[in-house]
Amino acid sequence: MREAATKSNEVLAEMKAERKDIQWVHSYVTGDKTFCIYISEDEELIYEHSRRSGFPATVVTKIGSTIDPTTAEGS
């Protein structure tokens, strides 16, 4: 995991130096898959990061909103 995170961070630093707006927030690792959460101006930057870092990204899904336990409390 450490090597993967290091490689990802290296590519993200290169992309930042190229003024590409992408940020890795965190990843969820399951038995056979990894789900990565990014903040990015568009999905192509996520695919570019995938190609450059050597980690496959097969599907990119835009998140429209989030909920958590406090959502039930209302306003």
DSSP tag of 21? -
Quote the CA–CA distance of 66 and 52 in Å, as a whole number: 29
- List phi, psi (to 5°) of 26: -175, 175
- Domain boundaries along the sequence of the chain: 2-62
| pLDDT at residue 74, rounded to an integer | 75
Quote the CA–CA distance of 39 and 42 in Å, as a whole number: 9
CA distances from 68 to 26, 27, 71, 74 (A): 17, 18, 6, 11
- pTM for the model stands at 0.84
- Reported as a single tens digit per residue, the pLDDT across 29-47 is 999 999 999 999 999 999 9
